[in-house]
C-alpha cells in the first residue's frame, strides 16, 4: 500500500513539474518574439539576394546564349523563392503571436476591455 501511495505521489509530481511547458506560450517575452522576427527577416533577405542573383544570371544566359545554353532541371531560383515564402509565412505568424502577447487584435489595434 505504501509503494502504491509513493507511485501516486510521483505521478502527481510529474504532472505538476511539466505544467510550465504548457504555460510557456502565455508568458512568452516580447524580446524573444523580436529576436525570432529579426532572424526570419535576415534569412528572408539572404534568400532574396540569392534569388535576384540567380535570376540575373539566368537572364544573362538567356540573352547571351539563348537556346544553346544548358538550363538546370533543378534551378536554384526555386529553392530561394521557397525560402523567401517560408520566412514571409514565419513573419506573419510571429506578428500574430506578437499581437496576442501584447493584447492586440488581429489588425494590431489594442483590444477593448472585456474582449
**Positive/negative CA dihedral, 62, 71, 44, 92:** positive
Share of the chain above pLDDT 90, in %: 53
Q: Is 10 helix (H, G, I), strand (E, B) or coil?
A: helix
Q: Which residues contact 33 (CB under 8 A, 6 or more apart)?
A: 94, 97, 98, 101
Residue 87 lies in a domain: yes
The C-alpha cell of 59 is what?
Answer: 537572364
Residue 39 lies in a domain: yes
Q: Work out the angle between the directed axes of helices 30-65 and 76-101 (0-180°, nearest 10).
A: 160
- Among the residue ranges 24-28, 74-78, 84-88, the one predicted with the least confidence is 24-28
Residue 1 lies in a domain: no
The domain of 49 spans 30-65+73-106
Counted domains in the chain? 1
What pTM was estimated for this model as a whole?
Answer: 0.67
Can you tell me the mean pLDDT for 15-40? 71
Residue 99 lies in a domain: yes
Residue 112 lies in a domain: no
Q: Which residues pair with 16 in a beta bridge?
A: none
Instruction: Provide the pLDDT confidence category of residue 12 given band limits of 50, 70 and 90.
Output: low
Residue 88: pLDDT over 50: yes
Closest C-alpha to 91, from 19, 23, 49, 42:
42
Q: Which residues contact 97 (CB under 8 A, 6 or more apart)?
A: 28, 33
Instruction: Provide the pLDDT confidence category of residue 27 given band limits of 50, 70 and 90.
Output: low
Residue 20 pLDDT: 56
Residue 15: pLDDT over 80: no
- Among the residue ranges 2-11, 20-29, 52-61, 91-100, the one predicted with the least confidence is 2-11
Residue 115 lies in a domain: no
Residue 82 lies in a domain: yes
Residue 65 pLDDT: 93
Residue 113 lies in a domain: no
Amino acid at each position: 500500500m505504501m509503494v502504491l501511495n509513493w507511485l501516486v505521489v510521483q505521478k502527481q509530481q510529474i504532472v505538476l513539474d511539466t505544467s510550465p511547458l504548457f504555460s510557456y506560450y502565455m508568458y512568452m517575452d516580447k524580446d524573444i518574439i523580436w529576436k525570432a522576427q529579426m532572424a526570419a527577416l535576415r534569412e528572408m533577405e539572404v534568400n532574396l539576394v540569392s534569388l535576384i542573383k540567380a535570376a540575373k544570371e539566368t537572364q544573362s544566359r538567356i540573352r547571351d546564349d539563348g537556346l544553346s545554353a544548358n538550363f538546370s532541371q533543378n534551378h536554384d531560383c526555386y529553392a530561394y523563392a521557397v525560402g523567401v515564402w517560408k520566412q514571409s509565412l514565419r513573419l506573419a505568424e510571429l506578428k500574430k503571436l506578437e499581437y496576442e502577447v501584447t493584447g492586440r487584435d488581429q489588425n494590431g489595434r489594442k483590444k477593448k476591455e472585456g474582449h
